[in-house]
Amino acid sequence: MKKSNSNFNPALPEGEDIHSLYQSGKYEEVLYVSDFILAVKPDDIQTLNYKGIALDNLKRHEEAISCFDQAISIHPKCLNYWINKSIALSALKRYEEAIASCRKGVESDPQIAEDRKKLTLRMILDDLRAKHYLPAETEKPAGLTKPLSKEQTSGFMTKLLVFLLVFLIIRLFHYFFDSR
């Protein structure tokens, strides 16, 4: 008995899905299929995301931003939609908006602990710079841009050395007195 395919879509060739079309670089086909799916399910955020990515790859950045905005309006706490929007904004050289999009995505994602948000934002922006979506000279998040001063470094090293010394003394104490 043949299993029924609950994801059957008459717009897709047999054995294909929108992800495989995207992975194959068939962006025009992704648009065709996504338009078909969105006609039936206009709030399908995954399809909106794939459509936006395909549009961005086809250099139709304004349309891509519109798709990401729709996905964000449905699911504003998904960091990926914000990042994809920032990539499209960067392609249009709207760097300040791109950085703001990343910042909003990080701030709205409940999966990222409050104390990790600045570091996460910095890592995302650094990754976008490394992939040449953002120029190297764009703004870095406040609080993470300056290297530690000599005073901060020496203070940290002093505390670390004191901690290690105390730890060693305790270990030696246990070694000599626990072995008897």
Q: Where are the domains of the chain?
A: 18-145, 147-180
Per-residue buried b or exposed e for 90-125, using 16+ beta carbons within 10 Å of the residue's own CB: bbeebbebbbbbbbbbbeebeebeeeeeeebbbebb
pLDDT digits (tens, 9 = 90+) for 15-64: 568 888 888 899 999 999 999 999 999 999 999 999 999 999 999 999 99
Identity at 151, one-letter amino acid code: E
pLDDT digits (tens, 9 = 90+) for 125-169: 888 888 777 787 665 555 444 555 556 556 666 766 766 677 677
Name the residue among 93, 19, 22 with its Cα closest to residue 58. Answer: 22
pLDDT digits (tens, 9 = 90+) for 67-89: 999 999 999 999 999 999 999 99
Q: What are phi and psi of 170, to 5 degrees?
A: -65, -45
Residue 94 DSSP label: -
- The CATH homologous superfamily for domain 18-145 is Tetratricopeptide repeat domain (1.25.40.10)
Q: 111 or 176: which carries more pLDDT confidence?
A: 111
